[in-house]
């Protein structure tokens, strides 16, 4: 028994203790970090699971202030495309602008604008080869009496243009300087590659949506999962603009993970942050920290659809795992608590013992933005949700098999799953779910007298909870007649 110096605790085993507060919960600052160089306005991350996070979820999470990790059970090209969708969402760039030919008439252009209900009036003009030859805006035709004139006779023939590599901030300054509402971008051959719209760019630059989690170029933040030694995938994702690579495996304390972290940091340096996991011990955390990782993901078997602890008999209850990892690494190295979150109070407990943020799968799988299939069961809508170690996920893509060290298995009958496939109730927009989780977290900060995450972790006190105490914590001795938006039952 000398080899077992501590017992394992999870969220239901502890409860935080109230302390004096001189502020209201809505004054609490719940911002945090996902990785060394990527901040979060709210400490919530959507999991890299093929029934949870692709571009729709990642966009929604970033707009709310968090971040989404796009799963790797996709081809390299498809995963990179999903990243681009996130990065271009708020870029102010119209990648495929509506164009017209110089030989068309203004009447033809106006008719198409009316039929297709375009809300804008500026159009690049391109020749048969896609080369930009001019631009036409409302000021070019609003005083015309005859709309049958050809566009080439009224367009601006030498418009202000930019190279296709220009940043949004540079584009904004250029449009202000030249007083133009549209800024076409061209490549080295003069072909149109995109269009900046001043109103869109101005909205982003002036930060009219302060909660959005954006990079220095005002693009939404995005993360994506990769496997060990997957250099081709990593390069494609970095070229697509990914902010964080999440080295996602079932056993993060392994040679392949450590070697890959070192390789990525050596090859790409500050171009991208690298998070690695999953782990559950102080020894693993120190090994990853020594390798140069920018964040550590904790969780061996806490997820609702994970069977690792019963199939392999391995894992550490999540509160203990997070605590052991967090206390073994420098405080500026973010720790992500991945899995086991059922209630907003679980988030507070994970942060209290050292996590910088939480990664959630089942809590978000039932939302409109998830990738799971919606089904009808006994008159109620549910969403299919499965573990990345489930047989279905392993059969679907190599990324899942790779995560569990079974990428070389040819026969499906020889696959050894470590997860199951199930379904969760449909919950509507992810925004509604996150609002409740953030609200619960702010109340926890208020009850514990902490205005910031740093104060929360410094001040947090907790008690062990017995089975009777847990029963007392939940609604009891009544029959619930209406669901609450922030309570999912025991």
468 assigned to some structural domain: no
- Helix and strand numbers (H, E) in the chain are 18, 21
Q: Which two tokens stand for residue 94?
A: 């119209």
Q: Is 299 annotated as a binding residue?
A: yes
Strand partners, 383: 374, 424
Q: Do 86 and 101 reside in the same domain of the chain?
A: no
Question: What's the pLDDT score for residue 1?
Answer: 39
Q: What are phi and psi of 89, to 5 degrees?
A: -55, -45
Do 101 and 148 lie in a common domain? yes
DSSP codes, 177-231: HHT-SEEEEE-TTSBEEEEEEHHHHHHHHTTS-TTS-B-TTSPBP-EEEE-TT-H
Domain membership flag for residue 467: no
Q: Residue 108 belongs to what H/E stretch?
A: helix 106-115
In DSSP terms, 358 is beta-bridged to 44, 337
Domain match, 55 and 97 both: no
CATH code of residue 163? 3.10.580.10
Q: Which residues of the chain have pLDDT under 50?
A: 1
Q: Is residue 233 annotated as a catalytic residue, yes or no? A: no
Q: What is the pLDDT of residue 94?
A: 79
Joined tokens for residue 76: 């390299």
Q: How many CB atoms lie within 10 A of CB 311?
A: 14
Query: What pLDDT score does 461 carry?
Result: 97
- Give the pLDDT of residue 462: 96
pLDDT of residue 205: 80
User: What pLDDT does 400 receive?
Assistant: 67
Question: What pTM was computed for the model?
Answer: 0.83
Q: Which of 306, 401, 427, 448 is catalytic?
A: 306
Q: Are residues 226 and 347 in the same domain?
A: yes
Q: Is 219 annotated as belonging to a binding site?
A: no
Q: Is 158 annotated as a binding residue?
A: no
pLDDT number for residue 157: 93
320, 456: one domain: yes
427 falls within a domain: yes
Q: Which CATH number goes with the domain that contains 315? A: 3.20.20.70
Does 469 appear as a known binding residue? no
Residue 231 lies in a domain: yes
Residue 227 labelled as part of a binding site: no
* Residue 286 pLDDT: 98
433 in the same domain as 349 = yes
Domain membership flag for residue 476: no
Q: 3-class SS at 61?
A: helix
The crossing angle, in degrees rounded to 10, of helices 76-89 and 55-64 is 30
Domain membership of residue 383 (yes or no) is yes
245 shares a domain with 167 = no
User: What pLDDT score does 271 carry?
Assistant: 95
Residues 58 and 98 placed together within one structural domain of the fold: no
Same domain flag for 262 and 164: no
Residue 288: name the closest of 252, 320, 326 by CA.
252
Domain boundary among 169, 201, 233: 201
Q: Are 263 and 370 part of one and the same domain?
A: yes
State phi, psi for 213 to the nearest 5 degrees. -90, 105
Q: Is 217 a catalytic residue?
A: no
452 in a domain, yes or no? yes
Say if residue 240 is exposed, middle or buried (CB neighbours under 10 Å; 0-12, 13-18, 19+).
buried
Q: What is the span of the domain harbouring residue 449? A: 11-90+212-461
Secondary structure class of 358 (helix, strand, coil): strand
The reply to whether 357 sits in an annotated binding site is no
Structural domain count, the chain: 2
- Is residue 289 domain-shared with residue 387, that is, in the same domain? yes
pLDDT of residue 394: 75
Give the three-class secondary structure for 19: coil
Give a yes or no: residue 487 inside a domain.
Answer: no
Residues 37, 347: Cα–Cα separation, whole Å: 22
- Residues 231 and 174 both lie in one domain: no
Tell me which of 63, 403, 427, 442 is the catalytic residue.
403
The reply, when asked if residue 315 is annotated as ligand binding, is no
What is the per-residue pLDDT for 155? 94
Distance CA 264, CA 259 (A): 9
């Amino acid at each position: 028994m000398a080899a077992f110096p501590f017992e394992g605790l999870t969220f239901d085993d502890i409860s935080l203790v109230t302390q004096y507060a001189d502020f209201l919960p809505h004054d609490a600052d719940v911002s945090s970090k996902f990785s060394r160089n990527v901040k979060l306005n709210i400490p919530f991350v959507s999991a890299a699971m093929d029934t949870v996070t692709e571009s729709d979820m990642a966009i929604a999470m970033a707009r709310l202030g968090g971040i989404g990790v796009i799963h790797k059970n996709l081809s390299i090209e498809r995963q990179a495309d999903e990243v681009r969708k996130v990065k271009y969402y708020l870029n102010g760039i119209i990648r495929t602008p509506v164009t017209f030919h110089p030989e068309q008439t203004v009447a033809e252009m106006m008719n198409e604008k009316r039929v297709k209900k375009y809300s804008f009036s500026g159009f690049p003009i391109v020749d048969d080869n896609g080369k930009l030859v001019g631009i036409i805006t409302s000021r070019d035709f609003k005083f015309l009496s005859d709309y049958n004139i050809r566009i080439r006779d009224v367009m601006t023939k030498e418009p202000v243009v930019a190279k296709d590599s220009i940043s949004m901030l540079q584009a904004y300054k250029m449009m202000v300087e030249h007083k133009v509402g549209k800024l076409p971008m061209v490549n080295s051959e003069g072909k149109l590659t995109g269009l900046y719209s001043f109103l869109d760019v101005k909205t982003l630059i002036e930060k009219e949506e302060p909660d959005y989690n954006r990079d220095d170029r005002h693009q939404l933040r995005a993360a994506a999962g990769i496997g060990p030694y997957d250099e081709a995938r990593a390069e494609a994702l970095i070229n697509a603009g990914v902010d964080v690579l999440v080295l996602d495996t079932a056993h993060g304390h392994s040679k392949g993970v450590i070697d890959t972290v070192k390789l990525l940091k050596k090859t790409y340096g500050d171009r991208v942050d690298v998070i690695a996991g999953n782990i559950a011990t102080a020894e693993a955390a120190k090994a990853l920290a020594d390798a140069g990782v920018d964040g550590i993901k904790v969780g061996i078997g806490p997820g609702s659809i994970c069977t690792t602890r019963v199939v392999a008999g391995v894992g550490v209850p999540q509160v203990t795992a997070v605590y052991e990892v967090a206390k073994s690494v420098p405080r500026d190295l973010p720790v992500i608590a991945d899995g086991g979150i059922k209630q907003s109070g679980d988030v507070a407990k994970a942060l209290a013992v050292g996590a910088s943020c939480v990664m959630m799968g089942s809590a978000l799988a039932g939302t409109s933005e998830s990738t799971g299939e919606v089904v009808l069961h006994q008159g109620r809508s549910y969403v299919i949700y499965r573990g990345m170690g489930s047989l279905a996920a392993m059969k679907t893509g190599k990324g899942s098999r790779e995560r569990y060290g079974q990428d070389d298995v040819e026969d499906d009958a020889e696959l050894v799953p470590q997860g199951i496939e199930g379904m969760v109730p449909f919950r509507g927009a992810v925004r509604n779910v996150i609002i409740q989780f953030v609200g619960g977290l702010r109340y926890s900060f208020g009850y514990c007298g902490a205005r910031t995450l740093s104060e929360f972790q410094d001040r947090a006190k907790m008690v062990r909870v017995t089975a009777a105490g847990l029963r007392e914590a939940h609604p009891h001795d009544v029959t619930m007649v209406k669901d609450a938006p922030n309570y999912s039952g025991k």
